[in-house]
């Protein structure tokens, strides 16, 4: 075969592949932009009774009961990928979620105050609740409540329960299926029922 023809064929094949990849890349980028815009518009609708920062987005259909204050920072993602994300406040209570946090299929219910810091990741089937709802001795009487604070860079794995009065320190990890009843210091891994110290994060 003529070497020049072979080189020409290789060039044509390479050019065709490059053009196809370029078109596919542009189309993929266009789809991502459209999907992102739709998610931002969904956030504008579903979080219309909340105070929100920029580039907040929602995937799926959450359930939002903002009778009290719900404040959401910049670049927060609230997804209902596995389960429906649920955020509830009563009059006088608040939920605050910091910048760049990701919440997927989580139930958060505040009778008093729940504060989630920046860059926090909370996995599906997690429940964060700052009260007992009703008294142990009298089911028609209000239960005890105390604020929950989750500091920056915390990762809460699937199926955790975070109960009233808990303070989770910066950079900590809560293992899947844990029930957190006491404070967790910074840069620590806790797990179990109730959650106990496993190791420090170096």
Interior CA angle at 143 toward 152 and 93, to 5°? 45
Q: What is the pLDDT of residue 8?
A: 62
Identify the active-site residue in 107, 134, 139, 167. 134
Count of residues for the chain? 202
Interior CA angle at 152 toward 48 and 183, to 5°? 110
Q: What is the pLDDT of residue 16?
A: 66
Q: Which residues of the chain have pLDDT under 70?
A: 1-27
Whether cis (ω within 30° of 0) applies to the bond prior to 194 is yes
Burial 133-167 (b: 16+ CB within 10 A, else e): eeeeeeeeeeeebebbbbbbbbbbbbebbbbbbbb
What is the SS3 assignment for 160?
Answer: coil
- Work out the number of other CB atoms within 10 angstroms of the CB of residue 94: 17
Q: What is the pLDDT of residue 6?
A: 57
Active-site residue flag, 134: yes
pTM given for the model: 0.82
What is the SS3 assignment for 158?
Answer: coil
Q: What is the pLDDT of residue 35?
A: 84
CA dist., res. 165 & res. 150, Å (int)? 11
Q: What is the pLDDT of residue 48?
A: 94
DSSP letter string, 75-136? T-EEE-SSS--EEEE-TT-EEEE-TT-EEES-EEEESSEEEE-TT-EE-TT-EEESB-SB-S
Q: What is the pLDDT of residue 91?
A: 95
CA dist., res. 71 & res. 12, Å (int)? 56
């Amino acid at each position: 075969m003529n070497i020049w023809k072979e080189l020409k064929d290789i060039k044509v094949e390479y050019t065709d592949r490059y053009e196809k990849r370029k078109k596919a890349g542009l189309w993929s980028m266009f789809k991502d932009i459209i999907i992102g815009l739709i998610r931002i518009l969904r956030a504008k609708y579903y979080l219309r009774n909340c105070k929100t920062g920029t580039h907040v987005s929602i995937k799926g259909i959450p359930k939002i009961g903002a009778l009290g204050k719900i404040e959401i920072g910049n670049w927060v993602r609230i997804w209902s990928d596995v389960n429906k994300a649920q955020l509830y406040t009563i009059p006088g209570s608040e939920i605050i979620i910091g910048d760049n946090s990701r919440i997927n299929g989580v139930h958060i219910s505040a009778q008093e105050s729940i504060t989630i810091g920046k860059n926090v990741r909370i996995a599906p089937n997690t429940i964060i609740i700052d009260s007992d709802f009703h008294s142990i001795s009298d089911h028609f009487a209000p239960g005890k409540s105390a604020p929950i604070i989750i500091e920056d860079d915390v990762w809460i794995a699937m199926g955790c329960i975070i109960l009233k009065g808990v303070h989770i320190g910066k950079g900590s990890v809560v293992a899947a299926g844990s029930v957190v009843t006491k404070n967790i210091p910074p840069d620590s891994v806790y797990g179990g029922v109730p959650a106990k110290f496993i190791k420090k994060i170096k």
